[in-house]
Structure 1
Amino acid sequence: MDVSSAGLGQTSNLDNSSAELRAAKLAKSQQETEGKAAVDLLQSAEVSPPRSADLAVGQNINIKV
């Protein structure tokens, strides 16, 4: 019975799972950062439509048939 190899295998699995967890947390953090940057960019580009000085402009449309 080889006890030392079983112990090393379990440690290796723990190291792999902790590395995967760390990588998943980093990926999530990166996605959140990119999402926030995208939302900030969209909000900074938001422009209100221009308003005419005369409110009656565009209210009447002449159509000839």
Structure 2
Amino acid sequence: MDISGANSSATSGASLELAKSQQKQEGQATLQLLESAADVPKATSANPAVGANINTYA
């Protein structure tokens, strides 16, 4: 006989809180990464024609 009561519900609630906290931390880390990437200057060439044509056939 399997009896589940308030204890399993409390464990489930704790797991949900832990998952929510982890998701929040990952979101903050992602935002930090995006903000730091915005500061990186875009690579430019001295000759704008270089790299303008892309072969699309093999």
- TM interval, short-chain normalised: 0.5 to 0.7
More helix by share: 1
Aligned residues between the structures? 47
CA offset at residue 40 of structure 1? 0.3
TM-score by length of 2: 0.63
Provide structure 1 residue ranges, at least 5 long, that are not aligned to the other structure. 1-5, 52-56, 60-65
Q: Which residue is equivalent to 1:3?
A: none
Q: Which of the pair has more CA radius of gyration?
A: 1
RMSD: 2.7
Is 1:20 aligned to residue 23 of structure 2? no
Separation in structure 1 between the aligned mates of residue 7 and residue 41 of structure 2, nearest angstrom: 51
TM-score by length of 1: 0.57
